[in-house]
A and B are shown apart, each in its own frame.
Chain A
Amino acid sequence: AFPKRVKVVEVGPRDGLQNEKNVVPTPVKINLINMLSETGLQVIEATSFVSPKWVPQMADHTEVMQGINKLPGISYPVLTPNLKGFQAAVAAGAKEVSIFGAASELFTKKNINCSIEESLERFDEVMRAARAASIPVRGYVSCVLGCPYEGKISAAKVAEVSKKMYSMGCYEISLGDTIGIGTPGSMKEMLTAVMKEVPVGALAVHCHDTYGQALANILVALQMGVSVVDASVAGLGGCPYAQGASGNVATEDLVYMLNGLGIHTGVDLQKLMDTGTFICNALNRRTNSKVSQASCRL
């Protein structure tokens, strides 16, 4: 049986734009987020408080955070990789933050130049400060179904890292198939292991569509009781590990499937498609959403 409601976490403005070739001006980012706020989405990841040296696309994080309309009932989490980023985020008005762990040692080393253990220690600082400020923290675990450096990732390792992050105080753990290599088989195996350590109500899936498997993987997660799914409007955000390949699953295609399953999301698909059209025009690119591409309607 499927959950009756699914919370869709929109990551387009952050994960999406961060992985797009073209950098988008601040007003366009703000407009994108404002349009998304009108679609019924309850969570919109706004930006990332990372040094612009590393992620130039997110250099305007403070302006974006301060410039967007913050509608009541909608959460606008931001990435904060360390205490410094956290403090800057709070100063800019952030009310929710996210931290990114990984189930792969090599990936962690290549990505943030430390071990998994060391990264969790850094996060602990953020957790303490967040707790003191009553700011909820969402935890991400990358490479849950495979790693571009290590290859196979054991489900037990994913469960271990997820458990640590949950115990540290993350209210939700988003399990990311970072290179989109997973299939319903590996998704099931991984979730079975993680669900032994973290309650399913605190789990989310963040599937990439690089191998076209995202919706099938999400379907399996839903069948196992997961009711929070990350997606990116228009499927923004390519895969940095496979040039020209796609990355994030498109929010429109996800909502289309959930609608067909009779699962409530609160999202207006037409408004979402309009938002996708807007950002694709601004980026001068075609949408990655198949629902958007198809023009016949039922």
Chain B
Amino acid sequence: MGTVPSALKHCLSYQHLLKEQLWIGEPAAPQAGQESQASGLPEYVKIVEVGPRDGLQNEKVIVPTGIKIELINRLSKTGLPAVEVTSFVSSKWVPQMADHKEVMRGIERHPGVRYPVLTPNLQGFHSAIAAGATEVSVFGAASESFSKMNINCSIEESIEKFEEVAKSARNMNIPVRGYVSCALGCPYEGNIVPAKVAEVSKRLYSMGCYEISLGDTIGVGTPGSMKRMLEAVMKEIPLSALAVHCHDTYGQALANILTAIQMGVAVVDSSVAGLGGCPYAKGATGNVATEDVIYMLNGLGINTGVNLYAVMEAGNFICTALNKKTNSKVAQASFNTGAIN
């Protein structure tokens, strides 16, 4: 194909194109909504940023409290509507989240941004409220083996614990988000039946969770299995209460998210810089990168309210602190074309 200069930092047209694609610093263009509507896609997708919790929990390096707080504060300024802050779990199990109280108390709380925290049981819930939490999450699973290995009880037993949390939360007007892990496959059981995902989702929704985030915990799902699973769940839960939480372990995340969006799902979880590897596949990636999701949604004319450039900067901050390369391809490519310095 002939020689090509490797340095195109001077290339203004590429930078222009990139800036258009990245929608740097600008909110969604006015015609964007129409574009996505015409194609049957949602006009707006809510991005739930899980980097500070799901991401950092699954990173090898433990990050100091000050850095966690700084990361969350930066994310609060990007336009992200929800940032999962930390986990009120015993530090014996999750040492990375041992500073949950300090983080919760230390972050800036921006109006218009929600700051959910994980609360696996009533004790964690009370601790979270005492520390100032105004929204909590509970984690169920569609796999008995996973439930047993992860939280040492059956699905039924875990649901009972969550019901206690949900009851207290209701009394205090605290919204609860429900997660269903292993929605497209389990590291222990293998294949997971869509009906089981639908059943667990329904239990969480019935107990009062306002939103159910369906997680492809080991990233094995493909557009095929995503579609089948969502079809089953959508029979039990209204579309507007559904979210997808895709892992990119097999590179399928964006294709799976696209499939979900085509079916009308309008809430997507992601992690800045793709923080958080996969604990079940050593060296493999985990969470999908927020930057890459937003890039795709921008290209589809879907509004997110998020400034992609600001997210990339937050990603750059945390990767520097963690001394690691970003997992976001958009960040990798953008920082290397000189379009962003």
Contact = CB atoms under 8 A, between A and B. Distances in A.
B284 interface: yes
Contacts of B296: 183-184, 213, 216
B300 A181 contact: no
A262 B224 contact: yes
B4 interface: yes
Contacts of B3: 54-55
A111 B4 contact: yes
A146 B257 CA distance: 23
B172 interface: no
A186 interface: yes
A149 interface: yes
A296 B329 contact: no
B18 to A, nearest CB: 7
Contacts of A241: 4, 6, 8, 14, 337
Contacts of B210: none
Given A213-B254, A220-B258, A290-B249, A148 B11 contact: yes
Contacts of B220: 296, 298
Is the interface on chain B under 10, 10 to 19, 20 to 34, or 35 or more residues? 35 or more
Interface string A26-70: 000000000000000000000010100011000000000000000
B206 interface: no
Contact of B251 (A50, A81, A250): A250
B250 A294 contact: yes
A79 B1 CA distance: 9
A240 B6 CA distance: 5
Nearest to A286: B283
A188 B221 contact: no
B306 interface: no
A102 B252 CA distance: 29
Contacts of B11: 148-149
A212 B259 CA distance: 16
Contacts of B278: 294, 296
B285 interface: yes
Interface stretch (A154-162, A198-206, A251-259): A251-259
B336 A242 contact: yes
Contacts of A256: 222, 250-252
A45 to B, nearest CB: 12
Main secondary structure of the interface of A (DSSP, over half): loop
Contact of A293 (B13, B20, B284): B284
B251 A253 contact: yes
A185 B35 contact: yes
Contact of A215 (B7, B14, B219, B254): B254
B223 A239 contact: no
Interface in A223-265: 239-246, 250, 253, 256-257, 259-262
B248 interface: yes
Interface in A139-156: 146-152
B2 interface: yes
B163 interface: no
Interface in B217-248: 218-225, 248
A112 B13 contact: no
Contacts of A184: 258, 296, 299-300
Given A290-B285, A293-B284, A55 B299 contact: no
A218 B35 CA distance: 20
A296 B218 CA distance: 8
Given A211-B333, A291-B251, A260 B222 contact: yes
A150 B12 CA distance: 9
Interface in A180-197: 180-186, 188
B152 interface: no
Given A257-B252, A290-B284, A185 B300 contact: yes
Given A50-B1, A212-B295, A256-B250, 17 more contacts: A188-B39, A209-B329, A210-B333, A212-B254, A212-B289, A212-B292, A242-B8, A242-B333, A242-B337, A243-B336, A245-B332, A246-B332, A256-B222, A256-B251, A257-B251, A261-B223, A295-B281
5 contacts: A48-B1, A216-B254, A241-B8, A253-B250, A256-B251
